[in-house]
Structure 1
Amino acid sequence: MNYLPNAFDPPVWYLVMPICGAEEEVFTRKRLADIVAAKLNNDQRHALITVEDYTFLPMSIHLMVRENALTLDLWWQPFMDAILRDIARLQTGNTLSWCNYTSERIIDAAAFEHRAYELLFLPVWKGLATDPQGYAYNSVNNKAGIDL
């Protein structure tokens, strides 16, 4: 794939956000996936970030986002706090928290393609699907309804 010069300005980030304290799947339950999608779509409508690609696993969110009006350090923590607050309201009896979340700046086309491939095949590698196209909560099928 050919990218235009400066295709990674503003920066693109690969984010992994695992959740701890849940006793059952979180992000592949429609009601909870809808919470994440609504927040991402709202942030996109307000031009804070752009979602390039995503996969929701039962216990983690994997995103590639492009900075827009906000840098990652200004957007990410409030995003995670809002998601955790909204999900915690629906999860009774569990103390939820984010654990071991990571970010990686995507600096070129090779890194972008590597992470896009990873996002596509994560559900297969985790045994959640036999084919990436058969997994609902990714950019391919977009059951979460994220504006891509």
Structure 2
Amino acid sequence: MDEHSPARDPGAGPAPTRTLADKLNALILEYWSGQKPPGNAVIAQRIRAETGLSISTGYLWMLRTGVRDNPTGSHLQALAKFFGRSPAYFIEADAPEPDDQLAAALRSRDVVRIALRSDGLSDHSKKAILSMIEHARMIEKLDADPPD
């Protein structure tokens, strides 16, 4: 084990997500799916750059290894914003995992940006945007049958 990441058997499959450290490490593996995640310094820098919220390399290491398991509200906010989760996800012992399709969609920064930018719009505007998305999916032949 180095100072950048906790020890983990790469062939062991996903670990049960019970502790904050387990959840955080699972999200990091999911975020960098198909590639080796970078070290804590790079992850902390990305969190700061993409959320505008501060988290240090050392504090991220402590959270990932379980040395610290009760992050401050601002740290929870930074993690939640970066990984597209509710802050409650990190503190609830049995917080439900989002379904795989939603988790895959949330890995796309553009999908997250579309969702965040639609917040606050009227129902009429949201329906118009959804209609445009459905039309684009039809043009690109992404769905066999349109959703209900």
TM-score (norm: length of structure 1): 0.28
Return the structure number with greater strand share. 1
Higher CA-based Rg? 2
Give me the TM-score of the superposition, normalised by structure 2: 0.28
